[in-house]
Amino acid sequence: MQFFVRRKLIYALAAALGASLPVAVFGQIQSQDSIFWSVEVDEAVVTGETSAVKAENALRVINKLRLDEVRFGSSQTLQDALRLTNGIRMNHDLALGGGLSMNGLGGLNIKIMLDGVPLVGRLGGNIDLGQIRLDLIESIEIVDGPMAVEFGTNSLAGAINLLTKKSKIASPSLTTMLRYESVGDYTQSVNASWSGTNHSTTISCSNHVFDGWSVGDPFFDWIEDFVADSSRVASWNPKQQRQFNFKSTLTVGNWTLSPTLFFLDEKIINRGLPRGPYGLSAFDDEYQTRRFLPSLQVKSFDENGVGWNIIASVQSFSRRKNGLITDLTTLTSELQSAQQQDTTGVTSIMSRGTRNVNLNSNWSIRFGWDINHENYKSERIENGLQAMTDAAAFALTTFESTSFKGQFGIRQAWNSSFQNPLLPSVNTLIKSGLNRFRFSYASGYRAPTLKELYFRFVDINHQLFGNPNLKAESSNYSEMSWSRAQKNFQIRSKIFVNDVVDRISLVDQLDGTYRYENISRFNARGISVSADSKWGRVQLSGGFQYTGREQTLTASDNSSDVLWTPEFTGSVQFEIAEPLSFNLNAKHNGSQPRNVIDDQDQIVIQKSEPYSMLDAQLRWQQASWTLQFGVNNIFDVTTAQALENGGAHSSGTTWLAWGRSMSFTLTHKLRAKGS
């Protein structure tokens, strides 16, 4: 009964469709980066475009999340920001962190970028979303479907691009933030920015401490010493994160240079139960993760806008696992045997450059290169170290008139480990008054990872091997969409089909070993509708998506069953008075069926349990002070049970979130006089 009450509330919120984005266009923006584009920052999108354009005039449907909105006031990480977004489903591994799936595809099929630089360091196929903090992030752009022509591998499902903040005022400013969440989560951050005639700089530092959480913890959980008994074990492991960010932009003539640096240091403790017979010691695991990402973006401008756009970066990711024996009487720790230690290191060097040339008033061409080199180091990789190089050339030709815009793109790449396919894409946009009609087709691919190619893990219970003969997964994606934007109302709808072949799976070789093979096929299709509207002080938004999945699990499996999953989102924002804003944000995730192979080697349907999430946020903002109070996960959803068809027995529990919590965030922005 409780579930149906929750579902009705979600449906009611989803039915409240509204809140149009501002459509105002203003004159030239001072920043050289956008001096030739009269697009308001709030509505501009950049992913896959030559320069910033209004979202309604972009070739692709781009969902932009502006993190200054009230509903994101309690979001600290990418995982927090995306968990109530249509088409995206979250999962959490207590050892590997937070992951996601997008339109039926997950992990390795989603490209996550920071200002266009792909992030590396996937664990279990996923970038840990809990490691991507939003301290210096202004907005998030989500694009469905492959963007392989521009960005290469790992975008079969789509791309998520995090865009960093830019200093918008000339006078120096200093912003400090303190945050407490009742599960024992503490964050402190400081952000300094300043700018002049030809430069702007932003620096931020943050410290985040989480003391762990279990179902039986008190509602207000303070940091305290653990008793040396079974209560030392947490369902959500204690964590400490430190982050440093730097971004600067320098204008020299018609060029801008933007060096950026991101550094993250994270430590997670997985405490074990006291060992018998006296409980004087315990086996613990410590995970140390470091991400170091310097990058440089260079742009040139002419009378037509952006000419050259070049990005280069050298990225380092390392994760070290230390197996420890902890003395529970002295609380000192020693390393276990060498077999309990493991270090994974990834180094990535990339360069992507494009040149945009306007041939005449209607035609333009954009061509460029994309080079990536990756080293992967681990004791579980053949020879302990492997490398892969990928070099590509691509071109996109665009025709644009008053009512029509069309683009054809093509990409050809060379890879040191496998043969790359030729990748085409076609995007069209038709404008008819307030209506926008889009059609997109793209061919995408996912390169086998170095782990899938060269993995080697043998112990008493496992014999797992990579396969250097793997082919790249490839896909064909088609999408049609319609949108209409009026002064206080927007509506969007789309249908899509994504067909993926040569999917890579770990296959039983029937001799006690497992090896990665290209065997399975996957097809996702769906329909979605969303709308926003605004009436006075009230903004309403809602959305619905219905996604079908069809998957073959073996070479002889000809099953054609399409398994469907519904999703609903709804949001209400009310400006109570000038300093006060209230937001209610909800999502219902329907049951997600899937084909699995049971103990008798029969294909059966397994269904996950449906669940709903609801957050409430209250913001008070006046002058330089902002206070935000949030109640997160109001329905207290922590896990979801996956049941086989018929529900005879459980097949596992998936962690979704820690329990209901309250958060308090205090922000103070100090500006120099005259700003």
User: Mean pLDDT by 10-residue block, N- to C-terminus, for the chain (675 residues)?
Assistant: 43 38 31 38 75 86 91 91 91 82 86 94 86 92 91 90 82 94 95 90 95 89 72 90 95 94 95 88 94 96 88 96 90 85 92 95 95 92 91 96 96 89 95 96 90 83 85 93 93 95 82 83 93 94 94 62 93 92 96 75 79 96 94 94 43 82 96 69
Q: Is residue 334 included in any domain, yes or no?
A: no
How many distinct structural domains can be found in the chain? 1
Residue 54: per-residue pLDDT: 86
Alpha carbon distances (Å) from 314 to 162, 291, 319, 368, 443 = 18, 11, 17, 19, 28
Establish if 345 belongs to a structural domain: no
- The dihedral of CA 25, 427, 358, 355: what is its sign? positive
Alpha carbons 354 and 352: distance in angstroms, whole number:
7
CB 266 within 8 A of CB 288: yes
Are the C-beta atoms of residues 113 and 160 closer than 8 Å to each other?
A: yes
In a domain, 181, yes or no: yes
Residue 659 to residue 389: CA distance in whole angstroms: 44
Q: What angle do CA 514, 518, 524 make, to 5 degrees?
A: 120
Domain containing 41 — which CATH number?
2.40.170.20
**Three-state DSSP string of 408-445:** EEEEEEEECCCCCCCEEEEEEEEEECCEEEEEEEEEEE
| 120 DSSP 8-state letter | -
Domain assignment present for residue 337? The answer is: no
Asked whether the beta carbons of 378 and 405 are under 8 A apart, the reply is no
- In the Cβ-directed half-sphere of 322, how many Cα atoms lie within 13 Å? 13
On whether residue 99 sits in a domain, the answer given is yes
Which two tokens mark 310?
């070049």
* Cα–Cα distance measured from residue 11 to residue 15, given in angstroms and rounded to the nearest whole number: 6
Full residue range of the structural domain in which residue 396 is found: 2-328+350-671
Residue 338 within a domain? no
Quote the pLDDT of residue 304: 79
pTM recorded for the entire structure: 0.89
Domain assignment present for residue 336? The answer is no
The verdict on residue 339 lying in a domain is: no
